[in-house]
Structure 1
Amino acid sequence: MFLSIDLCPSTRLFESDFFRILLTVANERNKKFPIAIAISGLWISNHPEEFNWLINNKKSLDITWVNHSFNHPYFRDKPLNENFLLSPRVNIKTEILMTEKLLLQHNQVPSIFFRFPGLVSNKITVKELNNLGLIPIGSNAWLAKGEQPKSGSIVLIHGNGNEPAGIKIASKLINRNINWLPLNYALSGSE
């Protein structure tokens, strides 16, 4: 299984207790805990201390940085087919490149993965993503929505305080005897 943690823009608190659980498990198992962090540029900009904390704990966390757009635009009054990165107001290339640039400015290497905000995309946005050399990742186990993980699942939780129910479920999963893998293993079919 693969653990992915979304850090969308949020004014809520960083789920530091959950990340400390990951550190504890890594220390108990004497190996880095693999996580994919789908990070938005605004989250990095608005949470510099927490971002630096993640970077400083890379000795225990095997972090794959997944681009999650810069602004993670969401419009409450729009349907999904006109929302997030599908909005005509959004320049997807700018959204992607601004986050990549910000990660590089912090000496962090972005991965080849991209998670669409809201998991909402279409053929056009996927093609634009592929033209930039990126691969979209979704999830078949969004814990806060009640989706159940199974072998090979990409588990999705939010580490930005927006979905405490998902964090609660994930906290129980982490301590089970699950072989958590780095996200790049999903491309090879290894489990």
Structure 2
Amino acid sequence: MTHSDDIKGMFLSIDLCPSTRLFESDFFRILLTVANERNKKFPIAIAISGLWISNHPEEFNWLINNKKSLDITWVNHSFNHPYFRDKPLNENFLLSPRVNIKTEILMTEKLLLQHNQVPSIFFRFPGLVSNKITVKELNNLGLIPIGSNAWLAKGEQPKSGSIVLIHGNGNEPAGIKIASKLINRNINWLPLNYALSGSE
């Protein structure tokens, strides 16, 4: 799922892949400010990897502690999020040899539950790379894969119904810069589950 038809609004998704770079705290504070101004929780889907949680406990707790202002949908983004610069896409990310996708999914779900956070039914493939086999494995676990038709750092333009994709882990400042301007526009931002129901 990359978008939702007949929806007057957009869905903001923020990837937190493993990274040693700084958390985009300034951007998240913009979301808090907008939530305050609108007197309404700001809905975001956070595609989170287990390794990011493990390596950024303070930032993860900060997100949890601000759930009064942020309406967070936790999207499973695998545990290790494997990536190899020298490998083609069909042998990379979760398509890498010896990667157990079920283990990758369940380890992250377990970690979220250990922090009293409820995983959603959504999963985002690392790099948005998948094949028929991995999608079938995902469906067997009752999960729905989500993509994006508006990856901002790649220059994709959002429109009504778009699932907007940015990275909040310091890896894509260009996307954060664009999103910071987009957030302040008069856009109806919606929780990700509305993409399934068509509700507004």
Equivalent residue of 1:111, what SS? Answer: strand
**Aligned mates of 2:101, 2:89 — CA distance in 1:** 16
Identity rate, percent = 100
For 2:175 and 2:167, locate their aligned partners in 1 and report how far apart those are by CA, in whole Å: 7
Report the counterpart of residue 30 of structure 1 in structure 2: 39
Offset from partner CA, 1:24-82 (integer Å, 9 cap, x none): 00000000000000000000000000000000000000000000000000011110001
**Unaligned stretches of 5+ residues in structure 1:** none
Q: Secondary structure at the match of 2:103?
A: helix
* Equivalent position to 2:86, from 77, 80, 84: 77
CA-to-aligned-CA distance 1:129-172 (integer Å, 9 cap, x gap):
00001000000000000000000000000000000000000000
Runs of 4+ in 1 over 3 A off after TM superposition: none
Point out where structure 2 has 5 or more consecutive residues left out of the alignment. 1-9
TM-score, normalising length: structure 2: 0.95
Distance of 2:156 and 2:199 partners within structure 1: 22
TM score, norm. by length of structure 1: 0.99
Rounded to whole Å, the distance in 2 between the matches of 1:89 and 1:176 is 45
**More displaced, 42-51 or 82-91?**
82-91
Q: How many residues align?
A: 191
Deviation at 1:88, TM superposition (A): 1.5
Q: SS of the counterpart of 2:45? A: strand
Tell me how far 1:188 sits from its aligned partner: 1.4
CA drift of 1:185 comes to 0.3
Q: Distance in 1 between matches of 2:17 and 2:96?
A: 17
Kindly report the root-mean-square deviation, in angstroms, between the aligned alpha carbons of the 2 structures. Answer: 0.6
Higher relative contact order (CA closer than 8 Å, sequence separation 6+)? 2
- Structure 1 residue 89: Cα displacement: 2.0
Hey, what's the Cα distance between the residues in 2 that align with 1:190 and 1:86?
34
Alignment match, 2:167 = 158
The alignment partner of 2:13 has SS state of strand
**Which residue of structure 1 lines up, in the alignment, with residue 136 of structure 2?**
127
1:189 to partner: Cα distance: 2.5
Q: Tell me the secondary structure at the aligned position of residue 172 of structure 1.
A: helix
Q: Please name the residue that 1:58 is paired with.
A: 67
- Structure 1 residue 120: deviation in Å? 0.2
Can you list the C-alpha shifts for 1:64-106, whole angstroms capped at 9, x where unaligned?
0000000000011110001000112200000000000000000
